[in-house]
Structure formats: C-alpha cells, structure tokens
Amino acid sequence: MIFEAKQITLKDGRTAILKTPCIEDAEKMLNYIKKSCGETDFLIRYPEDWNGITIESEEKWVEGLRVSPVVLAIACYIDGEIAGNCEINFNRTIKTAHRASVHIALIKKYWNLGIGSAMFAELIAAAEARPEIEIVELEFLEGNDRAKALYEKFGFKVVGERPNAFKLKDGRLLKEYFMQKQLRNK
Ligand SMILES: CC(C)(COP(=O)(O)OP(=O)(O)OC[C@H]1O[C@@H](n2cnc3c(N)ncnc32)[C@H](O)[C@@H]1OP(=O)(O)O)[C@@H](O)C(=O)NCCC(=O)NCCS
C-alpha cells in the first residue's frame, strides 16, 4: 500500500514528510533500523541481527511493502534522511481479519518531536478506514515509558503480558505487555 507524501510540522518547528519508503531508499531504511536497534533495548533486534540483510534484499522488502494489500508502511523523512518508520499489518486469515497490528521505531535524535504521534494518527486512520477492523494491537516492553505514553494517548489499553520476553546481553529479562485499542464493536 502507498501512503502519499504528507508534510507535518514537528514540535521544534521543523517540517518532515510522511510517506511510504521508496525502493531507492532501501539502503537508508536498513541504516536507520540498524541505528535505531543500537540506540534502544526496546526493539526486538540488536544491530548485528541485521547483518544478513543485504541492500538487494532490503529493496525487495521495500518493494513488497509498496505492493502489499495488507501492509501500510509510513516512513518519516527529514532533510532527505529517514527519521523512522511505522507499519500497520492487516491480518489475512478469516478468523483474525478483525485485528491489525502496529509497529514503530524512530532514530533517537528524533524522539519527543511528535513524529510518533503524527504516525499513529495516520495508522489509526488507516485502520478506521477498513470497516472490518475492530481491534488494533501492539506490544511494548517494561520500561518503555515513552512508547507506553504514546500508546495510552491513542487509547490503547494493556490486555496481557509475557514475562521474560526479552533477554538482553547483560542477562536482564524484560516483560512484554500486549495492548489493544478497540476501534468498534460488532
Ligand atoms: C516510542 C517512540 C515511537 C515514540 O515516538 P516519539 O515521536 O518520540 O513520540 P511523541 O513525541 O509523538 O510522543 C511521546 C509522548 O510521550 C511523552 N513522553 C516522553 N518521554 C516520556 C517518559 N519517559 N514517560 C512518559 N511519557 C513520556 C511525551 O511527552 C509525549 O507526550 P505528548 O505528546 O502528550 O507531549 C520513539 O520514542 C521511539 O522510536 N523509541 C525507540 C523505539 C521504540 O521504543 N519503539 C516502540 C517499540 S514498542
């Protein structure tokens, strides 16, 4: 799916563009996610977990995003740089087609500027535009208070948890929380 370019104004007055990543930006996408994974423990991968991903495979992945009928990816571009990306995945199977899941990660220097909020507004709008979607869901890890605040602001509520979900290199174990936002009841 394609999200056409839309300009937003950040909390510091700068402008940014939200749009589905272009295939020619695949290398930038790979660099952004590797960087982001090195800046926080709250994403599922360490930077080296991306080592097997080549620019060619990333190009195929971006191309797949653009043509997929069940994924909407929205990247944030600032001065040509990718500040972050988010996705909403619409489930395919009949039994789960009422649910969609969302994911988001931004580079640290762009945290707290309102990008996450702008992205979430678009992801929720995309879910609302599909009458079959009743629930939007996500996961976050204990300690990720910024993410939790963002999700609560958009009406997500904790519905469950998985103890010991992440084991960090220093041995610390982190609990994962599941959140859902009820869009509509059927
Ligand atoms: C989590 C993340 C997506 C949030 O995006 P963001 O652009 O920084 O979020 P925003 O600036 O739109 O909003 C953050 C909100 O949290 C608040 N906040 C910031 N730090 C906070 C903290 N430590 N505790 C509570 N609230 C906090 C801000 O005040 C803001 O609220 P407001 O809009 O009412 O002022 C981003 O920080 C990020 O990519 N983090 C690393 C990767 C990650 O954790 N991804 C999510 C995995 S579940």
Summarize pLDDT for 80-120 with one digit per residue, the tens: 999 999 999 999 999 999 999 999 999 999 999 999 999 99
Asked if residue 4 has its Cβ within 6 Å of ligand 1, the reply is no
The CATH number of the domain where 110 resides is what?
3.40.630.30
**Domain extent at residue 83:** 6-136
What are the residue ranges of helices labelled H in the chain? 26-39, 55-67, 115-128, 145-153
10 within some domain: yes
* pLDDT, tens only, 22-66: 999 999 999 999 999 999 999 999 999 999 999 999 999 999 999
What global pTM score does this model have? 0.97
Number of structural domains (the chain) is 1
Task: Give phi and psi for 16, each to the nearest 5.
Answer: -140, 160
118 within some domain: yes
11 within some domain: yes
Q: Cα of 186 to ligand 1 centre, how many Å?
A: 31
129 within some domain: yes
Asked if residue 179 has its Cβ within 6 Å of ligand 1, the reply is no
Whole-number Å distance between alpha carbons of 1 and 67: 6
Task: Indicate which residue's Cα is closest to atom 2 of ligand 1.
Answer: 147
- For a ligand 1 pocket test, name from 9, 12, 146, 180 the mutation site with the most ligand atoms within 8 angstroms of its C-beta: 146
Note the pLDDT of residue 186.
66
Confidence check: pLDDT of 184 > 90: no
- Decide if 84 contacts 75 (C-beta within 8 A): yes
Average pLDDT of the residues in 146-150 = 98
Q: Cα of 112 to ligand 1 centre, how many Å?
A: 6
